[in-house]
Chain A
Amino acid sequence: AQKITQTQPGMFVQEKEAVTLDCTYDTSDQSYGLFWYKQPSSGEMIFLIYQGSYDEQNATEGRYSLNFQKARKSANLVISASQLGDSAMYFCAMREATQGGSEKLVFGKGTKLTVNP
């Protein structure tokens, strides 16, 4: 079973509008965290935002905010005032503890966002 589900393979938004990228997750851990990464066409992975399971407030970083609904196991990314440079693949990921005392990331399949002028 998928642990991270991104149901939107592609999304389109007009420049300057807001857009929400969906992410649902599956875990039985009490302590976990959700990330969003951006991958532009150049290929690098860029960290955007992080939400811990015990964080009481939704995370925000500039134009990015994370709509965290713990009971629904969703961690949607909201991008406000979209810019042409926001066109990219966006990945949701969840951190999991490993047996060795470290942790790893489990990624969703991504959503391709296109911002139209």
Chain B
Amino acid sequence: NAGVTQTPKFQVLKTGQSMTLQCAQDMNHNSMYWYRQDPGMGLRLIYYSASEGTTDKGEVPNGYNVSRLNKREFSLRLESAAPSQTSVYFCASRIDRGISYEQYFGPGTRLTVT
């Protein structure tokens, strides 16, 4: 049981390049999330998906797209990377039944855009 996995762990991009951050969970969770963490800002929600086939914008969606490929996988795409997107990206998931409200986080992807 790996929990939430993210790839890659580190990435350096040049301005204008594109890339996709991958996230997968093996806990059969319904909801999945993408956050970014910048120094002094805490975590901010980029996009989330309440179930397979649905996605919604969070607090800071500009410059990003997402795909909920199936129940396990939720990817984040940067079409044209900008230096302002230098950040640590976390994927998370949670089940929507019962009283367990905890979000389980992946290990993070550290992205640098030069």
Contacts and interface: CB of A to CB of B under 8 A. Distances in A.
A102 B30 contact: yes
Given A43-B88, A95-B101, A109 B108 contact: no
Contact of B90 (A45, A98, A108, A109): A45
Interface string A91-112: 1010100111111111111100
A50 B102 contact: yes
A105 B45 contact: yes
Interface residues of B, number: 29
Given A98-B48, A102-B48, A45 B42 contact: no
Interface residues of A, number: 26
Contact of B42 (A99, A103, A109): A109
Contacts of A50: 101-102
A95 B100 CA distance: 12
Given A104-B58, A107-B44, 6 more contacts: A33-B101, A44-B105, A44-B108, A47-B104, A95-B101, A103-B94
Interface of B: 30-31, 33, 35, 40-45, 48, 50-51, 54, 56, 58, 88, 90, 92, 94, 96, 99, 101-105, 107-108
10 contacts: A44-B108, A99-B56, A102-B51, A103-B101, A104-B45, A104-B58, A105-B103, A106-B45, A107-B44, A110-B42
